[in-house]
């Protein structure tokens, strides 16, 4: 059984960073979208393998103060999933195309109840009722996830029980969106959302190291 990281919010200076795995932390996504090519170009093949190994060690989710569930993608195709089920997932592998690990990395919220097919072709879409049931089953208050570009850098959905946060402003130098992050301060853990705009960066074209097939559409 692998650990689901639990950590506490406080008013102290942060002394550690907790990383979570996303859907792009996989060999297939790294190859298609350019990370593998950039690492190989700037470093070496050894580092390509090292990153792949590190990505397989990243936790799939976190819980802050036993109340806030943090994940990259979203929830599940079945009800009744407990934190203990997530802890039991063997994450030290490439993500499968179905099951709990896949859904944690790939799923998205939807504005209507129930579940539906994913616009991505992987994972699923889930409604506010699914969010509410998961929170109740696990005695949690809030879900924080990312995985989707938002114009203002964030969006609050599902009756305030789910926040999408996206920290990359002007995504791929094309979307014009703001970035955002959340600060949770003890003891009430009320989310304080901070937004910001993009700043100049080195002149590297978006997807410069991407798979040649993808560059055909730019």
- Could you tell me the two tokens for 182? 């959340």
CA distance 52 to 26: 7
With a CB cutoff of 8 Å and minimum separation 6, the contacts of 212 are: none
Report, as residue numbers or ranges, the catalytic residues: 24
For residue 51, what are the contacts with CB-CB under 8 A and spacing of at least 6?
Answer: 30, 35, 39
Chain centroid offset of residue 30 CA = 15
| Angle between helix 35-42 and 45-55 (nearest 10) | 140
3 state SS of 135: helix
Cβ–Cβ < 8 Å for 21, 27: no
Residues 104 and 90: their CA atoms lie apart, in Å, by 13
């Amino acid at each position: 059984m692998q650990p689901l990281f639990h950590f506490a919010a406080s008013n102290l200076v942060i002394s550690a960073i907790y990383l979570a795995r996303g859907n792009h932390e996989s060999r297939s996504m790294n190859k298609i979208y350019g990370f593998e090519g950039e690492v190989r170009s700037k470093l070496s093949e050894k580092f390509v393998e090292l990153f792949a190994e590190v990505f397989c060690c990243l936790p799939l989710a976190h819980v802050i103060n036993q109340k806030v569930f943090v994940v990259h993608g979203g929830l599940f195709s079945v009800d009744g999933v407990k934190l203990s089920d997530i802890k039991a997932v063997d994450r030290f592998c490439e993500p499968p195309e179905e099951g709990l690990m896949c859904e944690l990395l790939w799923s998205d919220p939807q504005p209507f109840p129930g579940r539906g097919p994913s616009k991505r072709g992987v994972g699923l879409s889930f409604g506010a009722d699914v969010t509410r049931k998961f929170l109740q089953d696990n005695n949690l208050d809030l879900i924080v996830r990312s995985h989707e570009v938002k114009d203002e850098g964030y969006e609050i959905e599902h009756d305030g029980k789910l926040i999408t946060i996206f920290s990359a402003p002007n995504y791929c130098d094309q979307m014009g969106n703001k970035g955002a992050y959340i600060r949770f301060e003890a003891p009430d853990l009320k989310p304080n959302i901070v937004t910001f705009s993009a700043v100049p960066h080195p002149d590297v074209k978006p997807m410069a190291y991407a798979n040649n097939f993808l560059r055909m559409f730019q």
